Amino acid sequence: MKIAVCVKQVPDSWAEKKMSGGVLDRQGVDAVLNDLDEYAVEEALRVVEAHGGNGEGGANSVIVISMGPERTADAVRKALSMGADGAIIITDPALAGSDALSTSKVLAKVIEGGDFDLVFCGTESTDARMSVVPAMVAQRLSWAQLTFAGSVNVDPGAKAVTITRVTEAGVDTMKAAFPAVISVVEKINEPRYPSFKGIMAAKKKPVEIKDLAGVGIEASSVGSSGARSVVDDATPRPPKAAGIKIVDDGNGGKALVDFLVEKKLI
Amino acid sequence: MSDVFILAQFAGEIVAKTTAELATCGARVGNVTAIVLAAPGKGAALASQVNTAGVAKVLVLENADFDHFGVAASAEAIAGLVKEHKPSALLITSSAFGKELAGCVAVLTDSGLITDAVDVTSELVATQVIFGGSTTVHSHVSQGCAIITMRPNSISPDMAKSSPEIVNVEVSISDAAKRAEVVSSQPPVAEGRPELTEAQIIVSGGRGTNGDFSAVETFADLLGAAVGASRAATDAGWYPHSHQVGQTGKTVSPQLYVACGISGAIQHRAGMQTSKTIVVINKDPEAPIFELADFGVVGDLFTVLPQASEGVKARKS
Ligand SMILES: Cc1cc2nc3c(=O)[nH]c(=O)nc-3n(C[C@H](O)[C@H](O)[C@H](O)COP(=O)(O)OP(=O)(O)OC[C@H]3O[C@@H](n4cnc5c(N)ncnc54)[C@H](O)[C@@H]3O)c2cc1C
Ligand SMILES: Nc1ncnc2c1ncn2[C@@H]1O[C@H](COP(=O)(O)O)[C@@H](O)[C@H]1O
């Protein structure tokens, strides 16, 4: 099997985020691998490990795909040290300001040319928080869309995959033939920590860097020039006024009810 | 006036309040047409409930494939309607399904997409609250149909009645939209409390409950509230995952959020930070959740909550 994992480099979720000129100001914020994508890397590795392994002598390969600024390479390195075999990074100044339509277009184009059986994604990037890219990639490729997977069962012989889809609408069992795009929820597994050996090995793994011309996409159709939505303004919300804080002296519950009554909440 | 399409949403076979919210926003822009996707034979009963202010027409699409082939089948049908009728906007309720559907329709119709709006103006400018509530963004779609998903409970819906025209539309789904098959479905268990994303009041419990949610539930029931939980509580199996609030659970925005025994990790805040009023009960005066609290009690939830419940009961009698 040949598996792709889409990962995104995001600002550290603990860092303060600001907007500048309608886009996220990524300068001066630590860049990390979107933590929800670690579960996708882990699940892809578990799938290949259960069916002949990857790496040297393995029957499968796991390729990380990421679109983003140049330092995306740092986030990708983490996925490689967990055990992925190689990476494709798509970076181009014209990609700045990309919306989900652009991102899905670029990812789909790269995946299309890669002869993959399965694509794994996280369910959400911690900065954009849209939870739409995996579905949109599947739609563009016209591949099976198996998203919000809480468990994944792959049968390489039958070229089929079954998942349980876990959302607020309940739990669905879904199945499809290869090729498919799968996104995994964070309850699916416990991502491994890269070992020292993994970290060393990652330095030698192939990382292919492509620009838009290399991918075969018109620069004007993506990024801010191709964006299909426009940010009019972004304003920091006034910090919340400090609230009331009391220490329970035996009447804390009563004081709480008084507060709710005063606020007309009950 | 331009036309706006909304996707009617149902909880089982009952129309969800979010449908009226979408209609209220849509009516600011123009005539509202509601789309009802239904299993064969179910359309009429569902459509008859879509009758709040602004709804001028209901398009009923009956097809067994909607239940059997997930997002792709619904997206294909809705994209067909958008291409045919060219509405200025398509409003859908934010949920895992709703956002994916919106994304797929955006791809199929080459339209712009805005997710998780909390408001939409008559000019189709959407308001979003991002970065865990710290920034307000206004944006608009600049190409195609404005596809916007709206967070439940963000605006107060106009519940006045309308009498829309009901139109049945034939639809068939292509094989390309049938690649992922739903083999079986297990809807979430209803437990007689309001749905989390629709509730006006939510009382949530975390690791501090130590697995005993009875005090949380008692207080919630007295207030007619929904019960939420932190990931620590759902991971421990104390409460079902469908009740998890946060980044990887539900995003809620009730009038009142009561956090009991929850520390306030960034992933939890991401799901509740925009609640109008936040009340906290926590033993640890340093717990970060106090930063968000309009009213905080430093104390043991097992004494504070029962006393508060008694207080509410006394007021009721
Ligand atoms: C990828 C990822 C996604 C995540 N998604 C989510 C998510 O969607 N939602 C979510 O909630 N978390 C999420 N988390 C987990 C999050 O980081 C925290 O671990 C979690 O929110 C902690 O839950 P808690 O506040 O209940 O527990 P703790 O952090 O252990 O806090 C318990 C609190 O209870 C207080 N307490 C203890 N006993 C009492 C008592 N008797 N009375 C009063 N107070 C008491 C303590 O002082 C403490 O502050 C996610 C984490 C990751 C890595
Ligand atoms: N720029 C990107 N490069 C690679 N994968 C991405 C990118 N953006 C989003 N994804 C994938 O899509 C998932 C959902 O992201 P989003 O729709 O932005 O919330 C992420 O968890 C990633 O797996």
Cross-chain Cβ contact B304/A167 below 8 Å = no
Rg of chain A over Cα atoms, rounded to whole angstroms, equals: 22
| Chain A touched by B242 (CB under 8 Å) | yes
Rg of chain B over Cα atoms, rounded to whole angstroms, equals: 21
Secondary structure E strands in chain B: 2-7, 10-11, 14-15, 30-38, 55-62, 89-93, 113-120, 126-130, 135-141, 146-150, 165-169, 180-186, 201-205, 226-229, 256-260, 277-282, 295-298
pLDDT at B5 over 70: yes
A residues 50-79 closer than 8 Å to B (CB): none
3-state secondary structure of B137: strand
Tokens representing B161 are: 């009645």
A7 C-alpha vs ligand 2 centroid, how far in Å? 6
Say if residues A145 and A132 touch (Cβ distance below 8 Å): no
pLDDT at B159 over 70: yes
Band of residue B134 on the pLDDT scale cut at 50, 70, 90? confident
Instruction: Return d(Cα B104, Cα B33) in angstroms, integer.
Output: 20
Q: Which of A113, A24, A100, A80 is nearest to A203 (CA)?
A: A80
**Confidence at residue B280, expressed as pLDDT on a 0 to 100 scale:** 98
Phi, psi of A28 (to 5 degrees): 70, 10
For residue A167, the chain B residues in CB contact (below 8 A) are: 95-97
**What's at A20, amino acid-wise?**
S
Instruction: Return d(Cα B189, Cα A88) in angstroms, integer.
Output: 43
Cross-chain Cβ contact A132/B113 below 8 Å = yes
A residues 137-196 closer than 8 Å to B (CB): 138-140, 142-148, 162, 165-177, 180, 185-187
For residue A245, the chain B residues in CB contact (below 8 A) are: 285, 290, 293, 295-298
Say if residues B167 and B57 touch (Cβ distance below 8 Å): yes
Q: What is the pLDDT of residues B86-115, one digit of tens each?
A: 999 999 999 999 999 999 999 999 999 999
Neighbours of A255 (CB within 10 A): 20
Q: What is the pLDDT of residues B207-244, one digit of tens each?
A: 999 999 999 999 999 999 999 999 999 999 999 988 99
**Testing the interface with B: which of A18, A118, A132 to mutate, by most B Cβ within 10 A?**
A132
Q: Verify whether ligand 2 is closer than 6 Å to residue A125 (CB atom).
A: yes
Calculate the alpha carbon distances from A220 to A68, A108, B89 in Å: 17, 17, 25
HSE value, Cβ hemisphere, 13 Å, CA-based, for A32: 15
Report which ligand 2 atom has the smallest distance to the Cα of B103: 17
- The residue with tokens 């109008």 is B276
User: Which ligand lies nearest the alpha carbon of A222?
Assistant: 2
Band of residue B12 on the pLDDT scale cut at 50, 70, 90? confident
Tokens representing A151 are: 């468990």
**Confidence at residue B317, expressed as pLDDT on a 0 to 100 scale:** 77
Q: Which of A135, A175, A187 sits opposite B100 (nearest CB)?
A: A135
Sign of CA dihedral A98, A104, A105, A108: positive
ipTM of the complex, rounded to two decimals: 0.90
Instruction: Return d(Cα B285, Cα B283) in angstroms, integer.
Output: 6
User: Which ligand lies nearest the alpha carbon of A134?
Assistant: 2
3-state secondary structure of B300: coil
Say if residues B127 and B159 touch (Cβ distance below 8 Å): no
Instruction: Please state the rounded mean pLDDT for residues B19-35.
Output: 97
Neighbours of A178 (CB within 10 A): 18
- State which residues of chain A have pLDDT below 50: none
**Confidence at residue A29, expressed as pLDDT on a 0 to 100 scale:** 61
Helix (H) or strand (E) holding B43: helix B43-47
Q: Which of A144, A171, A228 sits opposite B179 (nearest CB)?
A: A144
Q: Which of A249, A66, A164 is nearest to B186 (CA)?
A: A164
| Chain A touched by B190 (CB under 8 Å) | no
Q: What is the pLDDT of residues B186-212, one digit of tens each?
A: 988 777 899 898 899 999 999 999 999
Say if residues A127 and A24 touch (Cβ distance below 8 Å): yes
Cross-chain Cβ contact A263/B110 below 8 Å = no
Instruction: Return d(Cα A199, Cα A71) in angstroms, integer.
Output: 17
Following DSSP, what letter does each residue of B193-230 receive, concatenated?
Answer: S--GGG-SEEEEE-GGGTT--HHHHHHHHHHT-EEEE-
**Confidence at residue A27, expressed as pLDDT on a 0 to 100 scale:** 59
| Chain A touched by B106 (CB under 8 Å) | yes
**Confidence at residue B190, expressed as pLDDT on a 0 to 100 scale:** 74
Q: Which residues pair with B298 in a beta bridge?
A: A247, B282
The residue length of chain A stands at 266
Q: Which of A248, A243, A14 is nearest to A127 (CA)?
A: A14
Phi, psi of A211 (to 5 degrees): -105, 180
A64 C-alpha vs ligand 2 centroid, how far in Å? 12
Cross-chain Cβ contact A246/B307 below 8 Å = no
Sign of CA dihedral B107, B116, B245, B290: positive
Say if residues B77 and B66 touch (Cβ distance below 8 Å): yes
Average pLDDT, chain B: 95
A residues 218-237 closer than 8 Å to B (CB): 227-237
**Pairs of CB atoms within 8 A across A/B:** 261
Say if residues B74 and B66 touch (Cβ distance below 8 Å): yes
Tell me whether residue B250 is exposed, middle or buried, using C-beta atoms within 10 angstroms of its C-beta: 0 to 12, 13 to 18, 19 or more. buried
Band of residue B274 on the pLDDT scale cut at 50, 70, 90? confident
B residues 53-92 closer than 8 Å to A (CB): 70-72, 75
Helix (H) or strand (E) holding A66: strand A61-67
Q: Which of B112, B298, B299 sits opposite A229 (nearest CB)?
A: B112
Cross-chain Cβ contact A145/B72 below 8 Å = yes
B261 C-alpha vs ligand 1 centroid, how far in Å? 8
**Confidence at residue A25, expressed as pLDDT on a 0 to 100 scale:** 62
**Confidence at residue A216, expressed as pLDDT on a 0 to 100 scale:** 97
Cross-chain Cβ contact A237/B130 below 8 Å = no
**What's at B11, amino acid-wise?**
A
Residue B180: left if φ>0, alpha if ψ -120 to 50, beta else—which one? beta
- Number of alpha helices (DSSP H) and beta strands (DSSP E) in chain B: 9, 17
Cross-chain Cβ contact B256/A260 below 8 Å = yes
Phi, psi of B212 (to 5 degrees): -105, 100
| Chain B touched by A20 (CB under 8 Å) | no
Cross-chain Cβ contact B248/A180 below 8 Å = no
Residues with Cβ within 8 Å of A217's Cβ and at least 6 positions away in sequence, in order, are A105, A106, A109
Q: Which of A123, A124, A145 sits opposite B70 (nearest CB)?
A: A145
**What's at B286, amino acid-wise?**
E
Cross-chain Cβ contact B107/A167 below 8 Å = no
Angle between helix B96-109 and A100-112 (nearest 10): 80
Q: Which of A183, A192, A179 is nearest to A79 (CA)?
A: A192
A124 C-alpha vs ligand 2 centroid, how far in Å? 6
**Confidence at residue A88, expressed as pLDDT on a 0 to 100 scale:** 98
